[in-house]
A and B are shown apart, each in its own frame.
Chain A
Amino acid sequence: MEHVHTMKKLGALLFSSALAAAPVAAKIKVAASLTDLASIASYVGGGEVEVFSIAKANSNPHFVEVLPSYMIKVSRVDVYLKAGLALDQWADAIIEGSRNNKLAVIDCSAGVEVLEKPSGKVDASMGDVHPQGNPHYWLDPANGPLIAEHVREALSKADPAHAALFAANAKKFREESDRKIAAWNGLMAPLKGSAVVTYHSSWVYFAKAYGLRIVGYVEPFPGIPPTAKHLQELVDRIKAGKAKVLIQEPYYGDSDPRFLERQTGIKVYRFTPSCVGTGAGDYFRHFDAMTEALAKAGG
């Protein structure tokens, strides 16, 4: 009996030694065009991923310069998360320049209910209109779980051994989203139906999520800076619509929003269109900050 017991101990020792000697599985390396996609990848991937974002929170996601240093970084990753809808066309040049034949490129916009999808001919007379529709879909928190699902699928293909972990984390993300969305909806309830102005058409998903009415844009057409005439018309529209909030990205000049503020009393909020970090909770924290700031305006 004692012999059997000794054998069991020896077996356990051998097993644990074998485990200790086994090579540590490498983490999945993930690059993302936007910090939001990177943050969601960090959440779903947990400790099994290393994530970075090309665009920073305060970068204009339409125009990111293609640096060779981005290419070398992407040459070493397993998964690339693209925003899609022709927002991050610069990512194609980075991906091509990376010469990474094993790279899985995931379009995170797949399956999104796209807003402002043009129905007719699209040309530059309409400004910088995206032919596939408005690409700023991550600003509706309801699209977060959809992005998480794309991430789960990509990570599971890259590392099937941890598929269960990724599925559990994606489920946890969905549940946390549901709780957070309920809280944000509560905060934003006083603003529901109220008129807002935004600088660029980045905020249509955000406005839809909280029932905000966009009554005008500082840009007369997407990507086209305002004229004096347009600003004057916007002053009239803000006054008529009783808009209290103007949302502006920090990479646009603030002289025109300040002019509107002086003329109408509208309050200017400078929000980055993406979350500041790439950590697991940063995507949620971005909405926490924006909804809290706006709730004060509506209160």
Chain B
Amino acid sequence: MHFRMPTLRGMPRARFRTPVRFRTPVRTALPASLAALLFCLCHPAQAGVANPDISALGQVIGGYTDDPGSSAADEATLRSGEMELVLDAYLNPFLKGWFTLSGSEDGFAMEEGYASVVKGLPWGLALKAGKYRLGFGKLNPMHPHAYPFIDPPRSLVSLLPGGEEGFNETGVQVSELLPTPGDWASTLSADVIEGKEFHPDRDFTRLGWVGRWANDFLIGETGAVETGLSAATGKSIAPEWGSSQLYGADVKAKFYLPGASQLTLQAEGVVRDFLDLDPEVVEGDSVVIAHNRAGFVAFADYRYHTRWNGGVLYEQWESGDETDMEDRAFRVFAGYAVLEESTLLRVAYEHFIPEGSDPVNTVSLQLLFSMGPHKAHQF
């Protein structure tokens, strides 16, 4: 089942430094594309041609915050979050295609649209091309609905290009399942990407790169662990002024407990080494300065009998480009599948401590509902 959790857009929040970007051209073009796509789907298929799997997700979100910077400070709020429509199917015996459309009151946007060669390539290779959430770290490539908590971690929103929308670009990925002994799975992937997320407000074109090396092991029959190293590079100011870099490391361990229960322990760290122009220098005498920021998020999630989950999350990150301000946040979260995984109730409390400001307390409630085929659960 594909879900989509809400982005932070519209949620009470404080001191997010990452600017929110709307892809206006895509949003305006998409209703027509969506209508055409739905027409094609509803149109009787040719003999022997199967319709794609379709799944959809909707949500209702309630919240309360004491953030004095929020227009809804000390008020209860209720809103509909982002809706998501996912289509996937084999294109032929070797290729599979995916489309993910996200909708809100602002219109529809194509979150992902890509094709992947799933068989036929030699030497354990796989190929993916299109627009997709990039494999930087373990959390970014997942659709946020699959996180055990409501909102994406603030540290990742602040440090990764793409901010609230995730590090999501048009690219081509080659990955290799390395020959390894036993149940050790080692996957090396490299993406060449459009690179726009490195320079979202600047008018030039220059490709970027993303790489990841992931290693997975089984812990007997009772658990599994994955470790990953990621790196990305691109041009953030102008092509002639050097490159900006991102580095990441992550680890995820899951323990399968009796009675269909699970314990997940996960952590992810990011170092963001971005170049920018010094805003205090007048145009014509531009000076390039480096903004080096880092942060991490760690959480534990206990899932009881598949229907209940609860956990804690802690994150800490350098939020200011010009200063060494370090923000922290602590969350407690819980979820309950009302009947089975198609209807989820979630609640979260966050204590956010922006350095130099008063702490902000936020409570969020979420109802997620989804329809469509049950998809395999990925690690």
Give the complex CA separation of A224 and B375 in angstroms.
17
Task: Indicate whether A236 reaches chain B with its CB closer than 8 angstroms.
Answer: no
**Residues of chain A within 8 A of B120, CB atoms compared:** 101
Residues 241-262 of chain A, each 1 if its beta carbon lies under 8 Å from chain B, else 0: 0000000001111000000000
**Residues of chain B within 8 A of A225, CB atoms compared:** 307, 339-340
Residues 78-104 of chain A, each 1 if its beta carbon lies under 8 Å from chain B, else 0: 000000000001101110111111000
Interface residues of A in 145-192 (CB under 8 A from B): none
Give the complex CA separation of A56 and B223 in angstroms.
13
Give the complex CA separation of A72 and B341 in angstroms.
28
**Residues of chain A within 8 A of B377, CB atoms compared:** 63-66, 90
Contact status A224-B340, CB under 8 Å:
yes
Interface residues of B in 203-248 (CB under 8 A from A): 214, 216-218, 221, 224, 226
Task: Indicate whether A73 reaches chain B with its CB closer than 8 angstroms.
Answer: yes
Contact status A124-B184, CB under 8 Å:
no
Task: Indicate whether A223 reaches chain B with its CB closer than 8 angstroms.
Answer: yes
Task: Indicate whether A67 reaches chain B with its CB closer than 8 angstroms.
Answer: yes
Contact status B177-A71, CB under 8 Å:
yes
Contact status A93-B378, CB under 8 Å:
yes
Known A-B contacts A72-B185, A75-B124, A99-B126; the reply to A67 vs B340 at CB < 8 A is: no
Choose among B183, B374, B376 the residue that contacts A69 (Cβ–Cβ < 8 A): B183
Contact status B126-A69, CB under 8 Å:
no
Choose among A60, A99, A223 the residue that contacts B260 (Cβ–Cβ < 8 A): A60
Known A-B contacts A90-B376, A99-B177, A128-B374; the reply to A68 vs B185 at CB < 8 A is: yes
**Residues of chain A within 8 A of B184, CB atoms compared:** 69, 72
Closest to B221 in A: A56
Closest to B118 in A: A96
In the complex, number of A-B residue pairs with CB atoms less than 8 Å apart: 93
B158, chain A: closest CB distance, angstroms: 29
Give the complex CA separation of A223 and B305 in angstroms.
13
**Residues of chain B within 8 A of A94, CB atoms compared:** 376
Interface residues of A in 240-297 (CB under 8 A from B): 250-253
Choose among A72, A101, A250 the residue that contacts B119 (Cβ–Cβ < 8 A): A101
Choose among A60, A67, A72, A92 the residue that contacts B379 (Cβ–Cβ < 8 A): A67
**Residues of chain B within 8 A of A223, CB atoms compared:** 340
Residues 313-335 of chain B, each 1 if its beta carbon lies under 8 Å from chain A, else 0: 00000000000000000000000
Contact status B216-A67, CB under 8 Å:
yes
Known A-B contacts A89-B376, A251-B259, A251-B260; the reply to A69 vs B216 at CB < 8 A is: yes
A19, chain B: closest CB distance, angstroms: 30
Give the complex CA separation of A67 and B262 in angstroms.
14
Q: Which label, helix, strand, loop or mixed, suits the secondary structure of the B interface?
A: loop
Task: Indicate whether B122 reaches chain A with its CB closer than 8 angstroms.
Answer: yes
**Residues of chain A within 8 A of B378, CB atoms compared:** 65-66, 93
**Residues of chain B within 8 A of A124, CB atoms compared:** 342, 371
Count residues of B near A (Cβ-Cβ below 8 Å): 41
B219, chain A: closest CB distance, angstroms: 10
**Residues of chain A within 8 A of B180, CB atoms compared:** 72
Closest to A94 in B: B376
B183, chain A: closest CB distance, angstroms: 4
Give the complex CA separation of A137 and B278 in angstroms.
69
Interface residues of A in 102-143 (CB under 8 A from B): 124, 128
Contact status A72-B183, CB under 8 Å:
yes
Contact status B177-A75, CB under 8 Å:
yes
Task: Indicate whether B32 reaches chain A with its CB closer than 8 angstroms.
Answer: no
**Residues of chain B within 8 A of A100, CB atoms compared:** 119
Residues 290-307 of chain B, each 1 if its beta carbon lies under 8 Å from chain A, else 0: 000000000000000111
**Residues of chain B within 8 A of A251, CB atoms compared:** 259-260
Choose among B118, B226, B375 the residue that contacts A68 (Cβ–Cβ < 8 A): B226
Most buried by A among B119, B126, B258: B119
Contact status A128-B340, CB under 8 Å:
yes
Interface residues of B in 173-197 (CB under 8 A from A): 177, 180, 183-187
A171, chain B: closest CB distance, angstroms: 33
Interface residues of B in 119-134 (CB under 8 A from A): 119-122, 124-126
Give the complex CA separation of A99 and B224 in angstroms.
21
Give the complex CA separation of A73 and B224 in angstroms.
14
**Residues of chain B within 8 A of A96, CB atoms compared:** 96, 118-119
Contact status B379-A66, CB under 8 Å:
yes
**Residues of chain A within 8 A of B216, CB atoms compared:** 67-69, 72
A38, chain B: closest CB distance, angstroms: 14
Give the complex CA separation of A67 and B255 in angstroms.
13
A133, chain B: closest CB distance, angstroms: 16
Contact status A67-B305, CB under 8 Å:
no
**Residues of chain A within 8 A of B185, CB atoms compared:** 67-69, 71-72
**Residues of chain A within 8 A of B177, CB atoms compared:** 71-72, 75, 97-99
Give the complex CA separation of A6 and B67 in angstroms.
101
B378, chain A: closest CB distance, angstroms: 5
B338, chain A: closest CB distance, angstroms: 9
**Residues of chain A within 8 A of B376, CB atoms compared:** 64-66, 89-90, 92-94
Give the complex CA separation of A64 and B374 in angstroms.
12
B229, chain A: closest CB distance, angstroms: 15
**Residues of chain B within 8 A of A62, CB atoms compared:** 374
**Residues of chain A within 8 A of B374, CB atoms compared:** 62, 89, 128
Give the complex CA separation of A66 and B377 in angstroms.
6
**Residues of chain B within 8 A of A224, CB atoms compared:** 339-340
**Besides A68-B226, A93-B376, 13 new A-B residue pairs in contact (Cβ under 8 A), listed by A number:** A66-B378, A67-B185, A67-B216, A68-B214, A69-B184, A72-B177, A72-B184, A72-B216, A75-B124, A99-B119, A99-B124, A223-B340, A250-B259
Can you give 19 A-B contacts (C-beta < 8 A)? A64-B376, A65-B254, A65-B378, A66-B376, A67-B379, A68-B187, A68-B214, A69-B184, A69-B185, A69-B216, A72-B180, A72-B185, A72-B186, A89-B373, A89-B376, A94-B376, A101-B122, A128-B374, A225-B339
Q: 5 smallest A-B Cβ distances: which pairs? A: A68-B185, A90-B376, A68-B216, A72-B185, A69-B183
